[in-house]
Amino acid sequence: MTPAREISPVAARGAGAGAAVLLGLTTGARRLARRSTALTAILGLTLAITAGIIERRVTAADAVSRSLAATFRLVVPLFCFALALAATDRTSLREAAWPVARYGASRRDVALGISGALVIASALGCGLLSVAAVVCAHSASAPPLARDAFTSGWIGGLTGAAYAAWFALGATFFERGRGRWVPLVLDFVVGGGTGLLAALLPRAHARGLLGGDGPLGMSQPESSLALALMVFALPVLAALKCRD
């Protein structure tokens, strides 16, 4: 668990909803600022860069698409999962909120803040991973680099935020939040499909946004909306499950 010295008992005692969310956001950010998270980011960036270089050397034709597919298929979900472990201190979201909530702040609001820190970090990190994959796979015959980098960046950010939201909700189930494994496994097993189950998970929507087939024949705007709904709705559900 995160040491109690990381937060101020005075600040937490009797904190309103907004202040409690901010305390949770700060707590999550401090956990994510550890050295282990930096190493995770370096590893993820290395894998994304390597995928881009390999795909470009195999053949320049469509190398960017293949590099992004590899990055979104493996690196993005595992990177977000590692961040989720760090933000929740490898325990359940409810218990992760306790070092602040025990001083009087609402556990629900603190949990929402921790989830928010996780979502923001995952969005920024996955946006960077996606841009790195594009830059390293780009060739003279590909579309303009700036356009590809911008497009892949926001898709990566939105997808990463959706994964984080799922892992935050998963961390409210089972002992020590082991329910976070459920969306990860389901995403690997059925996320590559186009059916109803796939439509509930980030991978299929990311594939649609990158130019592939979306789940249930959904258009790119519809997939964007589905991911956005995950980002905003799932952390709220997770916070409600953590209420006192």
- What is the reported pLDDT for 11? 52
How would you write the pLDDT of the chain (244 residues) with one tens digit per residue? 444 345 555 455 555 778 899 999 999 999 999 999 999 999 999 999 998 999 888 877 778 889 999 999 999 999 999 999 999 999 999 999 999 988 888 999 999 999 999 999 999 999 999 999 999 988 777 778 899 999 999 999 999 999 999 999 999 999 999 999 999 999 999 999 999 999 999 999 999 999 999 999 999 999 999 999 999 999 999 999 998 7
pLDDT at site 5: 47
Answer whether 53's CB lies under 8 Å from 142's CB. Answer: no
How high is the pLDDT of residue 63?
85
pLDDT of residue 223: 97
- Please report the pLDDT score of residue 1 as a whole number: 41
Q: Where are the domains of the chain?
A: 15-241
Q: Which residue's structure tokens are 């390597």?
A: 50
pLDDT given at position 236: 97
Kindly tell me the sign of the dihedral angle through the C-alpha atoms of 1, 158, 44, 132.
negative
Q: How would you classify residue 177: left for phi > 0, otherwise alpha for psi between -120 and 50, otherwise beta?
A: left
Give residue 7's pLDDT.
Answer: 58
In angstroms, the CA 122 to CA 211 distance is 22
Q: Measure CA 6 to chain center.
A: 24
Q: State the pTM of this model.
A: 0.92
pLDDT at 210 (0 to 100) = 92
Query: What is the 3-state secondary structure of the chain?
Result: CCCHHHCCHHHHCCCCHHHHHHHHHHHHHHHHCCHHHHHHHHHHHHHHHHHHHHHHHHCCCCHHHHHHHHHHHHHHHHHHHHHHHHHCCCCCHHHHCHHHHCCCCCHHHHHHHHHHHHHHHHHHHHHHHHHHHHHHHCCCCCCCHHHHHHHHHHHHHHHHHHHHHHHHHHCCCCHHHHHHHHHHHHHHHHCCCCCHHHHCCHHHHHHHHCCCCCHHHCCHHHHHHHHHHHHHHHHHHHHHHCCC
